[in-house]
Structure 1
Amino acid sequence: MRTRDPEAKRQQLLGAALAEFAEFGMAGARVDRLARRAGISPGLVYAFHKGKAELFDAVFDHIVELTVSSVPIDADRLPEYAGRLHDGGVEHPEVMRFLTWYHLERGESAQRAVVAEAMREKVEAVAEAQRRGAVTGAMPAAQVLALVLGLAAMWHRPGEDLAALVPAERRRAVVVEAVARLVAP
């Protein structure tokens, strides 16, 4: 006898939606196609989310939650933190592609509560490391964090012709070294 597992179905849906949105963006994604990817009916998609836009946001929130839990910030070791974030982008290029679509389609106006909370906690961690002298105090904690996150993602941005100038096996080291120099007290 089969048992219903709504959480498993929800996870299947999020995985399929990530793949669909990473490939086509929100505008090009089709609910029937992503339902097929998930192995569920299109009607079940709407049982979980009101529509494609809500599902798009849910995938974004899920990525943020997974990243925060799987790559927690260690403000005393920001170079290694940036390296782990870089590794995540290498291991999950579909996530990086989805995030590109998300920012293109949602723009700066997309203020998600899950991101605001994650960023607040990270800024607090960097500020505490600055107070202890483990991280430079030459700029505000929020600016340090923005630069660290930007460096960690720099090789994953589409259209970056400079990536061809640095071998893939060297890119992580470049990120770690750049962050180390940036945050040195």
Structure 2
Amino acid sequence: MPPDATETKRRILDAARREFAEFGLAGARIDRIAEHASANKRSIYVHFGPKEDLFDLIVIDALRTMADAVRFDAGDLPGYAGRLYDHLLAEPSTLRLSTWANLERPSSTDDEGTTYCKKVDELRPRYGDAAVDALVLTLGLVTAWFAASPALTSLAPSDDGAARRSIVVAAVAAAVAAMRSTGAAT
């Protein structure tokens, strides 16, 4: 009977998540993943295939974990924005992985699309044809501070995450209200 590879797989996935979050797909090295996972390169390829497949798996796992951790409520996008902001503050590697995927893998995987389709479907009764717009604006406002240049964010007088969270929630509430007032939301 072959040995159980569960622990080896877990170590590889943990090391791969850190590696891909820091270096992206192009900069990540299987050698470093193997070293940090205390595994050999061959076991990575046997369990997960080529580096691109491992990257896609890591990204979709991060998105699924976030979707499971952050309750989505189509009737309360500002509340969702606050919860999502909190999650990204606690798990910055999720946004880094998603950003790398957008830069290096511009066409989405089926799994990634499914993550968004469910939310858009829940938004349609409230926002109609503007459901995608509502989600894009919400996600954009939530991630704006995290994605801003350090040259800009360093100019902030303080690092008050609670105040920033409040601003994000208020901005999403304003965006939702603007969509309703312009007739974009049904």
Q: Normalising TM by the smaller chain, what interval?
A: 0.7 to 0.9
Task: Give, in angstroms, the shift of residue 80 of structure 1.
Answer: 1.4
What does the per-residue CA deviation read over 1:50-96, in whole Å, with 9 as the maximum and x for residues that have no partner?
Answer: 21111111111111111111113111221111111111221122222
70-79 or 137-146, which deviates more = 137-146
Task: Give, in angstroms, the shift of residue 115 of structure 1.
Answer: 1.9
Structure 2 partner of 1:4: 4
The residue type equivalent to 1:155 in the other structure is: W
User: Which structure 1 residue ranges, 4+ long, deviate > 6 Å from structure 2?
Assistant: none
Structure 1's 140 and 58: CA in aligned 2 closer, same or farther, altered over 3 A?
Answer: same
Structure 1's 149 and 18: CA in aligned 2 closer, same or farther, altered over 3 A?
Answer: same
Structure 1 partner of 2:184: none
Does 2:137 match 1:147?
yes
SS at match of 1:72: coil
**TM-score normalised by L of structure 1:** 0.83
Task: Give, in angstroms, the shift of residue 100 of structure 1.
Answer: 2.1
Task: Give, in angstroms, the shift of residue 31 of structure 1.
Answer: 0.7
Alignment gaps of 5+ in structure 1: 131-136
CA contact (8 A) 1:16 1:38 kept: yes
CA contact (8 A) 1:71 1:84 kept: yes
Which one of the candidate residues 161, 169, 181 is aligned to 1:176?
169
Does 2:124 match 1:127?
yes
CA contact (8 A) 2:24 2:97 kept: yes
- Distance in 2, matches of 1:56 and 1:140, equals 31
Does 2:104 match 1:114?
no
The residue type equivalent to 1:93 in the other structure is: P
SS at match of 1:98: helix
Task: Give, in angstroms, the shift of residue 161 of structure 1.
Answer: 4.4
Identity %: 34
After superposition, where does 1:10-25 map in structure 2 within 5 Å?
A: 10-25=9-24
Structure 1's 138 and 54: CA in aligned 2 closer, same or farther, altered over 3 A?
Answer: closer
CA contact (8 A) 2:71 2:83 kept: no
Structure 1's 52 and 98: CA in aligned 2 closer, same or farther, altered over 3 A?
Answer: same
93-102 or 77-86, which deviates more = 93-102
CA contact (8 A) 2:63 2:94 kept: no
SS at match of 2:76: helix
After superposition, where does 1:24-39 map in structure 2 within 5 Å?
A: 24-39=23-38
Structure 1's 61 and 43: CA in aligned 2 closer, same or farther, altered over 3 A?
Answer: same
CA contact (8 A) 1:79 1:179 kept: yes
What RMSD over aligned residues (CA atoms) do the two structures have, in Å?
Answer: 2.1
Aligned residues: 173
SS at match of 2:171: helix
Structure 1's 180 and 100: CA in aligned 2 closer, same or farther, altered over 3 A?
Answer: same
- Distance in 1, matches of 2:44 and 2:73, equals 37
Structure 1 partner of 2:183: none
